[in-house]
Every structure is written in structure tokens, then in C-alpha cells.
Amino acid sequence: MKASVDAKTFSVALDKAGAILKRAMVPVLETVSLRFGDGKCVMTATGLGSWVSVEIPAQGDSFGCAFLRNKEAAKACRFFEGELSVEIVDSEDGRHKQRRILLSCGSRTAEFEGLPPDEDLLALPADEVKASFLVNAAALLKRVDRVKYAAMKRADPSRPDLACVQFEKNVVLALDGQRAAYDIDPSLTFPRSFLIAADALTHLKLFGDSTVQAHVGVRFTRFFGESISLCCGNEGLEAFRLDQAIPKDFREEIYIRPKEFLRELDYLKSLLRSKEKPFIRFHSGELSLEAVSRQGQTSIPIEGKSTIEFGFDLNYMTEALKRFEGEAHVKLKVASQSSPLILEAEGRNDHALVLPVRLRLDRAAA
């Protein structure tokens, strides 16, 4: 069985499909399925819970195969140019069946171990579409990139939503229980709430700057481009009600310079011992450690009235400020000593939320 494709198109498609692969104990989870027939080659790969499918033109027989070592095949294909011939040869060695994949392009040939495609594992799952919308993939990915730092890095089985990016009305949101990041864009309202693991959404980059059709189902959300589709699992949980977490009124709004703030936080971090809680007390631009073993103080210039004394986790504030590092000024909004702190910058739709920490009473009284 044999088919032919354009070598460069095949190589680019193989790289795109292979981008979703992860290291796994099961060989089929590290391969890209190739299905030839009906004038096309459809490449499909899964990252367990998400799937990528890429379609390119092809001529020849109808058959399916997969490279046992996909990375090796993809590396070789980058050297091919012109018409590429893909041929499979099956043989038996005693009770063992073997599949070889032969690639030929001009004077270059290569032979790789192959596998039959696992149709059940790699088939895109059926789902009922509940809502659809059009969106620019690059614009959506930009919004995701602005907030995903606030998602939990490893999913907690009891709270998988904390490792997700959430889409609700006109908000893209991520939170891990201690901080949140959200982006509000009135120009796009999601017709249905859905939650997707943050790492799965990185594959939106495969669509480039193109407009994609999104289908939100009960179990999955699918993004369709001209020749690429991305299917991501929904966590099936309700989106967090952001409006319930953000204070309705703020007593103080001060402006800080993020680079200067970050520099002083780095200084205070250098004073902390490894197991100490990285808690910082803030009062009218004065910063001090809440550590037991030692004291450390510094200050930053601020603009605006600041009388509320509050505490925060140094690491969470640092991550939030880094999102605004290129801005000259950032607004820090404070409602009370115990209310969430909000960071935002003029001309941007994204915001950071950092929960305060409890201050030590003996220091507060002093």
C-alpha cells in the first residue's frame, strides 16, 4: 500500500500533530496516526484528554499507519523536498507481525518501524454540541497566556477546575485558590461556560492568526480551522463567579512602578530562609518581612493615598507584577485589610487578583 504527498507539507503537518504528544508508557500515545484515503492524509495525535488532527492533500491507496518512533521520523522528514512516497510493508516473523514504513523522496530513502493506528484511542470522541462561536485563535491564545500563570500547575483530583482556564460570559479566568488572573473583553461573549486544562490550550498556537470555529459540547470543546482541529476535554464544572470575589468598592487606589516594586521584593526574598513563609507587610509604600527569624525593610515610591495596612505572599505578588513589568505604572486597588488586592494597567483588559494574608498582631500594634 502506497501514497504520495508533498514532502514539506507532510513535514509541517507531522510537526504540528506531534506537538501534543507526551512521554507515555504506551507506545501509541507517543505516535501520530496517519490515515490515507479519499484524496487526503489525516494525521491525529492525542495528549490524553486532548486531540489534534491535521489534514493535507494526498494521492494513492487507502491505508493507515503510525511511526513507532515519531520524533525520529519527523526529524528525517524535515530534509525531504518535492514529492514524498509513503509505503507500508507488513510481514510476519513467526507469531509476530511487523510493519515497516518506507519513505522515498528523490535520492533519499528512509525506513522506520511502524504500528497500525489505534482507531479507538485516536478517534475524536462523539459529543453533543451545545453552543458555537467564531474567534481569532491568536487573540484567544493571548488572553489565555495572560491568565494561565494563576492556574494550579498540577491538577488536584478533587478540584480539577483550579488547573483550568475558565471561559464565562466575556471573561477568561484562571485561579488556584490563592490568586486569580482574569481578562475581560466586551467584544466577545462566550455563549456557554466551559473549563479547559491550561496546558491543552497552548495548542491554539497551531492555528496561527486565523479565525476558528469553536463548538462547545457537554464533554469537549473543539476548535476547527481550515485544515486543523483541536479537541479539548471539558472539566464539566461550573465556572467560578468572579463578580462574587471582587469587591464592589475600593477605599484606596494607588499607583506603583512594577519594576521598582519587583526589585524590592527580590531584595526581601534574599533575606528569607528557605522554609519561612514569604509574607510581606505593606503600609504606605513601606515593605517589611513578616518573618520570625529576622527583620528586613525597604520602600517603594507610590502615588495616591495609602493608609490601609495589608499583607501579601511575596511569590504571588511577584508573579502578578511580572505580567505588568513592561508598564510604567500599575494601579493597586485596596478595599480593606482582608479583601482581595487588584492589579491593573491602563489600556489593558487583564487584571491580577492576589489574596491578602493575615498580619501578625504584635507587629501591627508596634
Range name among 25-39, 43-57, 219-233, 297-311 with the lowest pLDDT average: 25-39
Domain residues of the chain, as ranges? 2-122, 129-241, 252-365
> Could you read off the pLDDT of 160-192 as tens digits, one per residue?
888 999 999 999 999 998 899 999 999 999 999
Per-residue pLDDT, averaged over 335-348, amounts to 95
Residue 365 pLDDT exceeds 60: no
Q: Say yes or no to pLDDT of 11 above 60.
A: yes
Q: How distant, in Å, are the alpha carbons of 63, 103, 244, 327 from that of 85?
A: 13, 6, 59, 53
Q: Write the CA distances from 183 to 84, 305, 348, integer angstroms.
A: 45, 27, 9
State pTM to two decimals. 0.88
Return the CATH number of 252-365, one of 3.20.20.80, 3.10.150.10, 3.30.70.3270, 3.40.50.970.
3.10.150.10
Q: Do domains 2-122 and 129-241 have the same CATH topology?
A: yes
pLDDT of residue 292: 66
Q: What is the CATH number of domain 2-122?
A: 3.10.150.10
The crossing angle, in degrees rounded to 10, of helices 7-18 and 70-77 is 150
Burial call 164-176: b when 16+ CB within 10 Å, e when fewer: bbbbbeebbbbbb
Q: Distance between CA 244 and CA 255 in Å, rounded?
A: 25
- DSSP label of 202: G
The pLDDT tens digits of the residues spanning 241-300 come to: 888 889 999 999 999 999 999 999 999 999 988 788 899 999 999 999 987 666 899 999
pLDDT confidence of residue 289: 92
For the segment 304-326, what is each residue's pLDDT rounded down to a tens digit?
999 999 999 999 999 999 999 99
Distance between CA atoms of residues 78 and 86, nearest Å:
15
- At residue 366 the predicted structure's pLDDT band, cuts being 50, 70 and 90, is very low
**CATH number of the structural domain 129-241:** 3.10.150.10
User: Which pLDDT does position 241 carry in this prediction?
Assistant: 83
Task: At 292, list the grid cell.
Answer: 520570625
